[in-house]
Amino acid sequence: MKKIILLVAPVVLFITSSFAADPNQKVLDAFSKTFQQVKNVTWQDIDNRYEANFKDNNITFRIMYDQEGNVVKSIRYYFASTLPIFIQAKLSKKYENKTVYGVTEITTDTDVIYHIILQDATNWIHVQSDSFGNMFTERKLRKA
């Protein structure tokens, strides 16, 4: 048992130390200008970028910054009520009698993509939409 602990402990220490990181001052300044009221932020250093993870108004955020404090990507997880009305209307029309289970919104400097999980009594439907409402079914799964 001691051997297993001695072998596993350095691996766990390496993994946690390589991901948890305090960002540089440029990143902290950029973050605090945008998210002044946010508390309980956790930071990770991933491929020379800093990722802030936090929750605000029932929305979970993942914001990625470069070393200069520029946002390079944001991911938000939320429910149907936060989707733009335009997208909600298109979903209601195209996927009648389905309800939104959850949304993942991915934003970069060139795109906003919505990954939307819909459900009915028997199925999960994964839909992708752009900001213009162009949407398609990525996959459909039967509920167990």
Give domain limits for the chain. 2-142
Q: Which range has the worst mean pLDDT, 14-23, 77-86, 95-104, 121-130? A: 14-23
Residue 117 tokens read as: 């999980």
Coil/strand/helix, residue 36: coil
**Cα distance between residue 100 and residue 94, in whole Å:** 13
pLDDT in the model for residue 22: 86
Asked if residue 42 has pLDDT above 90, the reply is yes
pLDDT in the model for residue 19: 55
Percent of the chain with pLDDT over 90: 81
pLDDT band at 20 (very low <50, low <70, confident <90, very high): low
Average pLDDT over residues 116-135: 98
Percent of the chain with pLDDT over 70: 86
Average pLDDT over residues 19-27: 84
Dihedrals φ, ψ of 112, to 5°? -130, 120
Q: What is the CATH number of domain 2-142?
A: 3.10.450.360
Asked if residue 111 has pLDDT above 50, the reply is yes
Residue 36 tokens read as: 């002044």
pLDDT in the model for residue 17: 44
